[in-house]
Every structure is written in structure tokens, then in C-alpha cells.
Amino acid sequence: MSNAPKLSIVLMSPDMEKLHAGALMGSVAAASGMEVNFFVTMEALRMFLKETVEKQDFKVSGVGEKLLEKKVDLFYKMLEDAKDLGNLKVYACSLVVDVMGWEKEDMLDLIDDIIGVTAFFGIAEGSQIMVI
């Protein structure tokens, strides 16, 4: 078992700016040697669907529009890259997956598993938790 500090981030908002901020914080934490676990739930999970990413059908406002316009690496790319740099996992909420009728194959490959809240709490035990 690792003694590295742990950070757990719950993404629930579909807003591009919030997803990007969460991914940035988690990516930096993972690159700094922290264990990082994301739990993606509610409408945020829709932003992790392959179809949403292919269509670039994101919920954006001012900063999000500029991120798209300037072709900045978006939240999902940051998370993919961070997985190569450190200990970072991304979990999809099983409740949302079930309710929406989605399958793991519908989601970006960066999703490690589909789990429930109880399982995530077990993974997040001893960590700081951020809700975005």
C-alpha cells in the first residue's frame, strides 16, 4: 500500500470550465506523486461519452469557448496524459450508467471502471475529496 497522499475528485458538472479545472488539478497532483481518483457522475458523465467528444458537444461559456477556439488540450486529453505520468484513475458512476442505458463501450477509453458510490468511498478513504 502506498504512503503517497491521495486526492479524490468528484466531477458532477457538465460545464467545460469545471471539467477542465478538475482535470488540471488532478493531473498536476498525479504528476506530483499523489494518488488521484476521479468519480464522474450526473451530467458530467455525458461529457465522457465517445459521441459527445466526437461531436465536441460540450457545455461551454466564455473560457470554455476560448479553450475550444484555441484548440487547447481539453479535460479528457489532460486525464489521458496524466495517466502516463502518475497514479490516476477515472471511475464512472454506475447509477448514471444504468439510468441512462449506457455501456462502458460508449465511454472514452480513459474510464477505468464503472462503480457505485460505496465502492468509490472505499477507494477514496483517507484522501482529500473535492466536488466539482
Nearest-angstrom CA–CA distance, 73 and 76: 8
Using N-to-C axis directions, what is the helix angle for 75-85 and 16-31, rounded to 10°? Answer: 10
52: amino acid identity, one letter: T
pLDDT value at residue 1: 44
> Residue 2 pLDDT more than 80?
no
> Residue 88 pLDDT more than 50?
yes
> Residue 66 pLDDT more than 70?
yes
List C-alpha distances in Å: 96 to 12, 44, 73, 93. Answer: 11, 10, 26, 6
pLDDT band at 43 (very low <50, low <70, confident <90, very high): very high
Domains of the chain: 6-131 (3.40.1260.10)
Instruction: Give first-to-last CA distance, the chain, whole Å.
Output: 27
> Residue 4 pLDDT more than 90?
no
Q: What mean pLDDT is reported for the chain?
A: 95
pTM attached to this predicted model: 0.94
Strands of the chain, DSSP E: 6-11, 35-40, 88-93, 113-115, 128-131
